[in-house]
Amino acid sequence: MTTHFVIIGNGAAGYRAAKALREADADAQVSVFSDERYPFYLRRQLGDFLSGAMTLQEIVFQSRNAYRRERIDLFLMTPITSVDPDAHVVEFASSPPVRYDRLLLATGTEAVLPAIPGRDLTGVTTFDTLTEAADLRDSLKAVERAVILEEGVIGLTLAESLLAAGVHVTQLMAGERFWPEALDETTSARLEALLEERGVVLRRQAAARAVIGTAGRCAAVELADGQRLSADLVACGCRRRPATRLAEAAAIEVGAGIRVDETLHTSRPDVFAAGDVAEPAGADPAAPAGGAFCWQRAWAQGATAAASMLDQRPQAVAEAVRIRTTLFGLDLAILGQGHLPAGGSVTVREHHDGPDIWRRLVYRDDRLVGAVVLGTGESVHELGRLVVEKAARERAEAVLAPPEAAEGDDLVPTTFARHCPICAAELVVHRGTREGAVLRCHACNTDLVVCWDGRHGWFEIRRP
């Protein structure tokens, strides 16, 4: 009998799981339900789409035809309203329920919106989906001044793209330093300096009390002290929480996210969860608020969930990475408890390598429990592995040895590592690799072109 795998959510985790299920079981029926308008797209690159660096064709990674070719049934703009694990069905607002044999909840996160008056005015937006990014891109010509209400990766991404479009950007900070829940003091200071250098106005200890509108459109943000900042765009929702509503209503065990064991199985039979919505057993309770959501982990968990749904009982791979992003061309990675301050049994070693590159290694009882790497992708993968292992100090310090340089015309002069733009797996380019060479991602098999601008290396996706 044909097995019916149903997946709710078509982001990194859901898409990866659908592909893996189809590859492993040619006879199965694979159905993916998404409440969005577009097929799978590179959500973490919405900023590139907004700034015009990526086209719609580039950011939408899998066309509807490709789903058809692979016999994955994709249902767009089809929100699932409830799940009944006893009856093994998913339900919709206005169509009959669908029966599943195995179900994957890959519903991602939802915005935590500020409870302030004026939130519904035109021009007040979240920046979470391609639809929102496309609407924003269409209206950008009319935007002169933007205010970003909260700190986080989404706000940083948005700030960079808006600046590139010539918009004046103000970022509100709740405290004295940038995003203290996720970042240590030095990383905060470095990001603040970077943002200010690029033209973002930082308002410290500033909370929005209301958005003020004229004729239904936002015109200003009113701060708690009564000051008003002009704004024809107000961005909110940079803080996220796992989208657990379906699970809660179905009496599936939920903590901060949907609780899963090491095979990503939930508390109910035949129901699995993966990606940002999942809370794996043993998840770090000190994960930073609004920052523990990660494309790389979602992608990896999609593959693990598919193997579990196929009864292969895989062990989920422990991932130290909490934040992995690129800001103004600089890599930023927060691994494990990289944000912990020194004190008690915690010691910190900071390592500066030129003006842009800095690494922070955090030890508890001389074991590596976290790291921050800013300015380079190099060593992130290795440090991540050592954080998972809680490696001894000597092994961690050895990673910080400077790379060798080499001469060459169109040859990359130094070994560097960057993440795959599709699945965010760590890929190493060795010194002496030819610029323009094609490298295949070991995790998602995407062909990538090696690029080098004399100082930094990166990958571009090679289209067939």
Q: Where on the chain is the footprint of ligand FAD (CB under 6 A)?
A: 8-14, 33-36, 43-44, 46-47, 79-80, 106-109, 127-128, 153-154, 157, 243, 246, 275-277, 293-296, 298, 324-325
Beta strands in 116-237 (DSSP E): 124-125, 145-148, 168-172, 201-203, 208-214, 217-223, 228-230, 233-235
Q: Which is nearer to ligand FAD, 148 or 219 (CB)?
A: 148
Whole-angstrom Cα Rg for the chain: 22
Q: How far is the CB of 13 from ligand FAD (least distance, A)?
A: 4
Q: Provide the minimum distance between the beta carbon of 119 and ligand FAD in the complex, in angstroms, as a whole number.
A: 18
- Judge whether 366 and 346 are in contact, CB under 8 Å: no
Smallest gap, in angstroms, from Cβ of residue 366 to ligand FAD?
29
We find the least distance from the C-beta atom of residue 288 to ligand FAD, in angstroms, to be 13
Minimal distance, residue 392 CB to ligand FAD, in Å? 28
CA distance 296 to 419: 9
Q: From the CB of 344, what's the least distance to ligand FAD, in Å?
A: 30
Q: Which is nearer to ligand FAD, 70 or 132 (CB)?
A: 132
Question: Cβ of residue 129: shortest distance to ligand FAD, in angstroms?
Answer: 7
Of the pair 154, 233, the CB lying nearest ligand FAD is at: 154
Distance of alpha carbon 342 from alpha carbon 209, whole angstroms: 35
Helix (H) or strand (E) holding 350: strand 346-353
Q: How far is the CB of 334 from ligand FAD (least distance, A)?
A: 10
CA of 398: how far to CAs of 266, 417, 430, 462, in Å? 40, 17, 18, 34
**Closer CB to ligand FAD, residue 308 or residue 325?**
325
User: Which SS3 state, helix, strand or coil, does residue 99 take?
Assistant: strand
Specify which residues 451 forms β-bridges with: 458
Q: Which of 191/212 has CB closer to ligand FAD?
A: 191
Question: With b meaning 16 or more CB within 10 Å and e meaning fewer, what string describes 22-56?
Answer: beebeebbbbbbbebebbbbbbbbbbbbbbeebee
**In the complex, minimum distance from the CB of residue 429 to ligand FAD, in angstroms, rounded to a whole number:** 20
Which helix or strand (DSSP H or E) is residue 192 part of?
helix 185-198
Asked if 270 and 101 count as a contact pair (C-beta separation under 8 A), the reply is: yes
User: What is the widest separation between alpha-carbon atoms in the chain?
Assistant: 66
Distance from C-alpha of 234 to C-alpha of 212, rounded to nearest angstrom: 10
- Can you tell me which residue has the tokens 């599943």? 100
Closer to ligand FAD by Cβ: residue 128 or 192: 128
> Which amino acid appears at position 13 of this protein?
A
φ and ψ at 341, to 5 degrees? -80, 160
Q: Choose between 11 and 290: whose C-beta lies nearer to ligand FAD.
A: 11
Q: Which is nearer to ligand FAD, 11 or 375 (CB)?
A: 11
Report the residue number, 98 or 411, with the smaller CB distance to ligand FAD: 98
